[in-house]
Chains A and B, each alone.
Chain A
Amino acid sequence: MAQAVLNLPPSSLNPDQLKENHQALQKEQRSEARTMFRLTLPALLIVGLLMVAPIGWLLSMSFVGQDGSIGLENYILFFSEAVYREMFVNTFVIAFVVTAICLILGYPVAYLMAILPSPWSGFLMLLVLMPFWTSNLVRTFSWLIILQRNGLVNQLLVWIGAIERPIALVHNMTGTIIGMVHIMVPFLILPLYASMKAIDLNLMRAAANLGSTPAHAFRRVYLPLTMPGLVAGTIMVFVMCLGFYITPALLGGGRIKMIAQRIEESLALYPTWGPAAALAVLLLAMTAICLGVSLLLVRRLTAEMRG
């Protein structure tokens, strides 16, 4: 039997049969594309219904003035009133400071995770991820207790003699930043760790071999190679900070106003949703710009390395 198949002359396939095959294959390809579309349809519907439609509605509401007129009234409000300017500055300063502290704290941790042998790096990863499994609200309240006037930190500082009387650690900028850093640090560590893990440690050896001191090798070789992860993590933290609500609301004690709190207040303050919607649109736009820039940066950095 096998012999018979092997001996089948090639001429037994006539052009008509080949053409038939070709048509059948094309039909299969088209039906496959249709199946693909049908399978993604539910997801597309959900995204459209829950994302695109509400954002469109929000956008349209932001142009409705308090007297029902259509215009840029709400947006002009933000740029004319000092409260809003201060709030924007506040938001950006807090986001910037939190990101910077996360960077300083997160880089060494990510590095340690990348170079430690497996059981230790796994343990460290567990410690980094642990906070993810607790709600932000619970963690923020915990900070309220730890940082309060008679809290753990103040008692400790008084006991070791660093300060004479308890200092204000919450209900201000300090508390807000401490709480936000705690929540944000893992978002910086994870992308950093990923890009560090991908670095061939022989590169550091090569740098030393060519004459670099460890510090020089770090600056010229290691740091540039972690740039994609660094930029991705930094922008992610920064963007998430811009929209923070719970932590600044609780730990800032009403004194520190960030954009999300203003949105909430605007709803209570004004009879229409216009100002709140306009603020939300601004936040969305800023976030989109930050993400877009970071995407471009990361893509360029990675392309530079891969060519």
Chain B
Amino acid sequence: MTLPSTTALPVQVQSLSKHFGEVRAVDDISFDIRPGEFLTLLGPSGSGKTTLLMMIAGFSRPTNGSIRIAGQEIVHLPPHKRNIGMVFQNYALFPHMTVGENIAYPLRLRKVGKAEIEDRVRNVLDLVQLGGYADRRISQLSGGQRQRIALARAIVFEPRILLMDEPLSALDKQLRETMQIEIRRLHDRLGMTTISVTHDQREALTMSDRIAVFSKGRLAQIASPTGLYEQPESRFIAEFIGESSFLPLRATPNGLAYGDQLIQFDEAPQHTSGNMLLMLRPERLRLATGDTSGEGANYFRGRVQTVVFQGESLLFEVMLDGGHKVFVRVANRSDSARLVPEEGQRVTLCLDRADARIVRAED
């Protein structure tokens, strides 16, 4: 099968802003996307991620700034001259055309020959595993099939880059997870620079090379999925990606401390100014048994308040003696069931030095 011959182009966004009156929907954002990279713009609703995507696609005019693809400024081009593929949130497939006509639409506009159009439609349908669907009507397709057709239409004309606006939000959970992996695999085969927008952190973690997290119109952090999860820069990121509990720290001559307890780090934190918090991922905390005085870890004592059974794991809500609530997740293994403390029972929690991370309290 011949794949659409795609290119891997770099994208540069510089000092991009979009103001609606006093409101700064996108506020002075700059980042580079590497050729062939899969970048996800992640953030809560109203964080500016969709506005940013609309500006790249050309549907929203920036107040200021520059967008360049392979060095070429595109900020002044109308959308139909940008040659950018896009998968819309509700797919935006033309209901009055068949699947084949939808996919052929961009090819006809580009004056591709009739025989070649047929070839390319067939190929791209095979690519999204819907071979033979060319004559179906859009209304005959399921949500997942529409999603694939939207993707096929967006890549068939060999655009310079691919944009996706919440591409999986209309699908049910199981299908979403299948499609995440499928889209990622397709991206790896095509190698096209891709920018996707989502508010679903799992989707971002699964599909992306890098994730740009947005908050209130600003870029909060841009990093690989691992980097974002393991080394979040702020409490906002730590809460948005995965679950976390936080303990306030204060600077002492000997290091950072929670109450009177000095916290042990593998690597001494570099910035210790301002309000610092100790980030505790529920799955990195352990219920300690036996010796709890070792130097290799940090120990916290408290009382179990609630135990929640969540299928693959058990979630404990523990009130520390210092007055802070933390969550502990324990994988549901056959032997762990026997160690499960009950509500009201006193426990000791253990955090390895390697898992001790600090984050900024403010965004």
Contacts and interface: CB of A to CB of B under 8 A. Distances in A.
A208 interface: yes
Nearest to A216: B109
Interface string B70-93: 000000001110111110111011
A305 B93 CA distance: 11
Interface string B286-321: 000000000000000000000000000000000000
A109 to B, nearest CB: 23
Given A202-B90, A307-B137, A211 B96 contact: no
Contacts of A208: 58-59, 78-80
B95 A213 contact: no
A209 B153 CA distance: 11
B229 interface: no
A205 interface: yes
Nearest to A203: B92
A303 to B, nearest CB: 9
Interface in A87-145: none
Contacts of B58: 208-209
A254 to B, nearest CB: 47
B59 A205 contact: yes
A198 to B, nearest CB: 10
B240 interface: no
A307 B146 CA distance: 14
A166 B94 CA distance: 52
A307 B139 contact: yes
Contacts of B89: 202
Nearest to A225: B96
Given A305-B139, A307-B137, A211 B83 contact: yes
Contact of B96 (A212, A216, A304): A304
A210 B95 contact: no
Contacts of B78: 208
A210 B106 contact: yes
Contact of A307 (B80, B106, B140): B140
B88 A202 contact: yes
For this complex, into which size category does the number of interface residues on chain A fall? 20 to 34
A221 B137 CA distance: 15
A273 B115 CA distance: 67
Contacts of B157: 210-211
A221 B106 CA distance: 13
A219 B80 CA distance: 15
B57 interface: yes
A213 B81 CA distance: 9
B92 A205 contact: yes
Given A209-B79, A213-B80, A307 B88 contact: no
Contact of B95 (A211, A220, A225): A225
Interface in A193-217: 200, 202-203, 205-214, 216-217
Contacts of A211: 80, 83, 106, 109-110, 157
Contacts of B222: none
Given A202-B92, A210-B153, A307 B138 contact: yes
A259 B82 CA distance: 57
A212 B94 CA distance: 13
Contact of A305 (B85, B90, B95, B153): B95
A30 interface: no
Interface in A173-210: 200, 202-203, 205-210
Given A205-B88, A211-B83, A307-B138, 20 more contacts: A200-B92, A202-B89, A203-B92, A206-B88, A206-B92, A206-B93, A208-B59, A209-B80, A209-B84, A210-B105, A210-B157, A211-B80, A211-B106, A212-B80, A217-B80, A220-B105, A221-B96, A305-B139, A306-B95, A307-B139
Top 6 closest pairs, chain A to chain B, by CB:
A307-B139, A206-B92, A210-B106, A211-B109, A208-B79, A202-B92
12 contacts: A206-B86, A206-B88, A206-B93, A209-B57, A209-B79, A209-B82, A210-B109, A210-B157, A211-B110, A217-B80, A225-B96, A307-B138
Interface of B: 57-59, 78-80, 82-86, 88-90, 92-96, 105-106, 109-110, 137-140, 153, 157
